[in-house]
Amino acid sequence: MVAVVDYYMPSSADEVALEFLDKSGVVLRHYSSKDPVRSPDPATDPEAYNKLCQATPNAPDCGLPLYWPAPPQVLKASPGMHRFTWDMHYDPLPGGGGGGRGGGGGGANGAVPHRTYPGVNSPWVAPGVYTVKLTANGQSMTQPITIKMDPRVKITPEVQQIFTLTTQLETYARNAEKAQKEARAMLDQVKGNEALTKQIEALAPAEAPAAGGGGRAGGGRGGRGGDGAPATAPTLTNIGAQLVAAAMAMQGSEMPPTAAVLANCRAQEAAYYALMQKWAALKAPPKPKP
């Protein structure tokens, strides 16, 4: 399931950007003609990639037949008519990684020779009207794009709840990511204040702990993920992944979320609010003494 975008380039550009925005103008997904592409790639040079796998067996896709992977999708900046597809997912959080090939979970389900695309460890956007924005050579053009639900699926209150919760959790994850960057930047401003530095480091460490709760959960439309319960104390650094993991647990089907999944969503929201309150208090200017 993808949204198809056709665009025409009258001349070449140094860089082309394609963005998908919500009704508030927030960028949900960003692509660039300069996005990195694997070299070698298993689809375009399987012999070279097979040698890489022999040297590095744990490299992506090395556990799969190399005739599975689809060629990488590249946003072209050359003159002419081009087509690009949006998988209708949000941008993955930095460091969240991608999913496996074949149904988004790394198994053989849904695998098609030379047409098996990697899954994306981020939720689906909700049905609705969005904006697609193309930028090249300093000029931008926009067009509306409508995402529709499968007509075979009835939009019940329970299904709408999935859309609402997913959007909320993804928004919170973005807010936490922004707050974490602000907190790390603030460290340079408070050098010499050991007490405040220690509080900021505890609230927004440079990296999330390696064990538990640090990555996005799997589970595409084809199968429900777990409840995404965190195994580590929440911080501004890992709460985004924990929020999205809670959302990913609802992406597997249009069935009502389980009580455990909803409870985890509420727990992640509560942890997010607590962290944001702490951050608001830390960055607030000190009150003048009477």
List, for residues 211-260, the tens digit of each pLDDT value. 544 444 444 443 444 444 446 899 999 999 999 999 999 998 888 999 99
What is residue 108's predicted lDDT score, i.e. its pLDDT?
44
| Cα separation, 135 vs 196, whole angstroms | 42
| Cα separation, 112 vs 110, whole angstroms | 6
Q: What is the chain's Cα-based Rg?
A: 21
Q: Is the peptide bond before 40 cis (omega within 30 degrees of 0)?
A: yes
Q: Among 152, 169, 130, 146, which residue's Cα sits nearest to residue 221?
A: 152
Report DSSP state, residue 249: T
What is residue 231's predicted lDDT score, i.e. its pLDDT?
61
What is residue 278's predicted lDDT score, i.e. its pLDDT?
96
Identity of the residue numbered 227: D
What is residue 201's predicted lDDT score, i.e. its pLDDT?
96
Identity of the residue numbered 12: S
What is residue 217's predicted lDDT score, i.e. its pLDDT?
40
Does this model's pTM top 0.85? no
> Over the stretch 30-50, which tens digit does the pLDDT of each residue have?
999 999 999 999 999 999 999
What's the angle, vertex CA 126, arms to CA 74 and CA 228, rounded to 5? 90
CB atoms within 10 A of CB 279: 22
Local structure of 111: helix, strand or coil:
coil
What is residue 254's predicted lDDT score, i.e. its pLDDT?
84
Report DSSP state, residue 116: B
Q: Among 24, 48, 28, which residue's Cα sits nearest to residue 38?
A: 48
Residues of the chain with pLDDT under 50: 102-108, 212-230
Helix (H) or strand (E) holding 47: helix 46-55
